[in-house]
Amino acid sequence: MSAVVGIPQLDLTRLAAYLEAQLPAFAGLRSAERLIGGNSNPIWRIAADSGRYILRTQPAGLLLKSAHALDREYRVITALRASAVPVACIHLLCNELDVVGVQFYLMDFVDGCVHADARLPELALAERAAIYDSAIDMLATIHRLDVDALGLRDFGRSGHYFERQLHRWTTQYRTALPQGDPTVDALIKALQQAMPADDAAPVLLHGDARLDNLMFDTAGQRIVAVLDWELSTLGHPLADLGQFLAVQELPSDYLLPGLAGLDRRALGLPTAEEQAQRYFAAIGRPPVDLRFYQAFALFRQAAMSAGLRRRAELGTAVAESALFFGQTLDVFARVGLDILARAA
């Protein structure tokens, strides 16, 4: 991909006028710096006399159906403000396309650190396990939330979660990549054959449970914000746990680095089994076989990568990494098949 052109062009004068008209506390927009990272929705760090903010927008160009749903993200973050799950204060959602050309929202900037490498090389050996413990505890906290009290009972459909999701993401994958991919196609077939019973009441799902979607305070292991709620919905809780554990199974030299082949003990990291045990103890549920849930999460990553590949080929991606992920979507599928093939 020669250039990333799916980035809205901000007219700071127009944006400042809009924000000051809508938010009496906002004043003196000085700059907007685009932050690099992620392949979905562009983000900017906004500096103003009234403070620091994050502006998150849809990408410019043609979007797949139901993708980049900032309105859903805005709704869930707003609902979570009074909960035990830390999120940034979100100020407004703008659907007026004449401001920056796409839908966007503005929220407070939260200072902290994000751990992008699952090995946590930036931390001392003795500090690493606590990061994973905090992440698992936060996942359990999200799943214990009362969706009725949050006003989110209608945030997703009930029942047959994985059947519906497998159909949805298969449709997205085949729309984005009509020629298909043999490894992904094999994983879809294997998932259809391994579909478990729908045995859990729906909970609020983060939808993209990964270590790098958590912001920690700079002094310790406390999570100060859960990030990126774009894929949130109501559904089976093991979808999130499967996602969190599955990406750890990716190769350590992949662009989304995992822990495959590494000695977790030597790195001071908990095993997948230890993380699962901590989660099940926290939610009061007996442990179950997680192979399907992890493999499903990796299929969904492959389907999303197909969408990234399509946007990269059209020249409407928002990050240079989009084409790489799209061209290596078989990595996700191959790891998913390997997980399903393991002995229980």
3-state secondary structure at position 227: coil
Q: What's the pLDDT score for residue 64?
A: 52
Q: What's the pLDDT score for residue 335?
A: 97
Mean per-residue pLDDT of the chain: 91
Q: What's the pLDDT score for residue 63?
A: 54
Q: What structural domains does the chain harbor?
A: 12-108 (3.30.200.20), 113-341 (3.90.1200.10)
Residue 65 has pLDDT above 60, yes or no: no
Measured distance CA(26)–CA(181) in Å, rounded: 49
CA distances for 317 relative to 11, 103, 129, 207, 310, angstroms: 20, 16, 35, 21, 8
The answer to whether 122 and 71 are in contact (CB under 8 A) is no
Identify the weakest region by mean pLDDT among 117-131, 248-262, 304-318: 304-318
For 23-56, what is each residue's pLDDT tens digit?
Answer: 999 999 999 999 876 657 889 999 999 999 999 9
Residue 1 pLDDT grade (very low, low, confident, very high; cuts 50, 70, 90):
very low
Q: What number of residues does the chain have?
A: 344
Classify each residue of 217-249 as buried b or exposed e, where b means 16 or more C-beta atoms within 10 Å of its C-beta: eeeebebbbbbbbbbbbbbbbbbbbbbbbbbbb
Q: What's the pLDDT score for residue 60?
A: 75
The answer to whether 207 and 304 are in contact (CB under 8 A) is no
Residue 115 pLDDT grade (very low, low, confident, very high; cuts 50, 70, 90):
very high
Residue 131 has pLDDT above 50, yes or no: yes
HSE-CB of 243 using CA atoms within 13 angstroms: 20
Neighbour count for residue 42 (Cβ, 10 Å): 25
The answer to whether 342 and 324 are in contact (CB under 8 A) is no
Measured distance CA(80)–CA(73) in Å, rounded: 11
Measured distance CA(270)–CA(57) in Å, rounded: 36
Measured distance CA(211)–CA(197) in Å, rounded: 28
Residue 327 has pLDDT above 50, yes or no: yes
